[in-house]
Amino acid sequence: MHILEIPSFFPPYGGLFCLDQAKALKALGHEVRILSNVQLGISVGLKDYLSLPYCQYEHELDGVNVLQSYQRGIPKCIRYNANRWVYIVRRMFKRYLSKYGKPDILHAHCAKWAGYVSMLLSEEYSVPYVITEHLPLMLLEEEFGCAPSAAWQIPLLRQSYENAQMVIPVSEELVDDIACYYGKGYKWQYISNTIDTVFFHYYPRIHPSGKPFQFCCIADYYYRKGYDVLFDALSRLQASGFSVELHIAGFLTDSEECLQEIKRLQLKHVNCYGRIDKESVRQLLYKCEALVLPSRSEVQPLVLLEAMSTGMPVVATECVPRCQRLQGCTIVPINDAASLADAMRQIATHPITEARSKRLSEEVSELASMHVVGVRLEKVFNEAIASF
């Protein structure tokens, strides 16, 4: 099967879920490539905006061929930037056709805007398309406003859902969450995101006697991720004399804003790493004893799967989907620093057993390994092609 992956987001702005699924499908013997146009924001990362290539080019990423382009977004010109993004991807697809031929199926990641452009390409070139949806409700609310919304994007995105051969939410809860914008007039089938369970393999942990218990939080420093709640919880723990250390990594976790907040709250033993690569994520997971993710909104946080794949217990909030609530995942209410602190204390004082830790790693593999997810996607793609 010839599969073309079209992500709405890609490095340096996340989107590695697309690469992981491409690798999973390629491992099953399929011809898989990624066509990526990334809209760069001058206010998000000036260095990337100025230094990344200005021309379209091809490169290999973890064994997958990527056709790459970077678009310089114009501040506050949302509709113009979206239309230009769609135009660039359509132009890149024409070049793709001349070099590699027509794919059997298009696999878009997020309706905005990969799903929409895939619908246009499907109509123009008679190619079936499916959409894997990753975006949580809170991100949609930030852009469209609270539902009901008259945002101009919604009718276009709703149409791309309704015309898709299949929509693949990465959690079942997402369908109801976003129905206020897109309705439910489309075919859908839940499939978990995949992680590299071989890379994030089981790692035994022994807590050194007399040392602080080490938590990590791997998430970008945004309001949605709930760092303010985490810092409040840490302050409570430290004020009570509980010995705990926190390691945080992700975009802007080493920013002046983050460092000033840590200083203002007089938090001790907080280590800030900023944006880190995959190898460094694994090293941090192996170094620490539990992961905490105090998010206000998520669809399927991959870092929880990565942590549990190593056998690490996690503390997360009620926005985490049911499929990730394995034994070893403690759930607390959103925006509740007291409950978060209590859960962190409980994990630190009653560590997970080695047997449970190993079983946790196995359960993640059964849910989200590349082979398991690849086979499920393969089945959906074959059905989509047959019914097109």
Q: Judging by beta carbons within 10 Å of its beta carbon (0-12, 13-18, 19+), is residue 334 exposed, middle or buried?
A: middle
> pLDDT at position 15, please?
84
Peptide bond into 75 cis (omega under 30): no
Q: Are 351 and 360 in contact (CB under 8 A)?
A: no
Locate 285 and state its tokens.
């997971």
Residue 169: which of 303, 317, 321 has the closest Cα? 321
Q: Which residues of 337-372 are buried (b: 16+ CB within 10 A; e: fewer)?
A: bebbbbbbbebbeebbeeeebebbbeebbebbbbeb
Collapse the DSSP code of 139 into the 3-class scheme (helix H, G, I; strand E, B; otherwise coil) and give the result. Answer: helix
Distance between CA 289 and CA 244 in Å, rounded?
11
The confidence score (pLDDT) of residue 202 equals 97
What is the per-residue pLDDT for 209? 76
- In 196-301, the DSSP E strands lie at 213-218, 244-249, 270-272, 290-293
The pLDDT value recorded for residue 91 is 97
Task: Give the pLDDT score at 44.
Answer: 81
CB 292, CB 344: distance < 8 Å: yes
Residue tagged 């849910």 (tokens):
367
Where are the extended beta strands (E) located within 230-283?
Answer: 244-249, 270-272
Instruction: Write down the pLDDT at residue 179.
Output: 95
Residue 16, amino acid: L
How many residues make up the chain in this entry? 388
d(CA 383, CA 388): 9
DSSP state of 269: S
DSSP notation for 325-377: --TTEEEE-TT-HHHHHHHHHHHHHSPPPHHHHHHHHHHHHHHH-HHHHHHHH
Q: Report pTM.
A: 0.86
Neighbours of 210 (CB within 10 A): 6
CA distance 139 to 46: 22
The tens place of each residue's pLDDT in the chain, 388 residues long, gives 999 999 999 998 888 899 999 999 999 999 999 999 999 999 888 888 999 999 999 999 999 999 999 999 999 999 999 999 999 999 999 999 999 999 999 999 999 999 999 999 999 999 999 999 998 888 899 999 999 999 999 999 999 999 999 999 999 999 999 999 999 999 999 999 999 999 999 999 887 777 899 999 999 999 999 999 999 999 999 999 999 999 999 999 999 999 999 999 999 999 999 999 999 999 999 999 999 999 999 988 999 999 999 999 999 999 999 989 999 999 999 999 999 999 999 999 998 999 999 999 999 999 999 999 999 999 999 999 999 9
Going 83 to 84 to 87 to 88, the CA torsion angle's sign is negative
Q: Output the pLDDT for position 300.
A: 87
pLDDT of residue 332: 98
Nearest to 60 by CA among 100, 27, 40, 32: 32
Closest Cα to residue 105, out of 158, 172, 33, 39?
Answer: 33
d(CA 42, CA 50): 8
Please name the residue that has the structure tokens 């859960």. 343
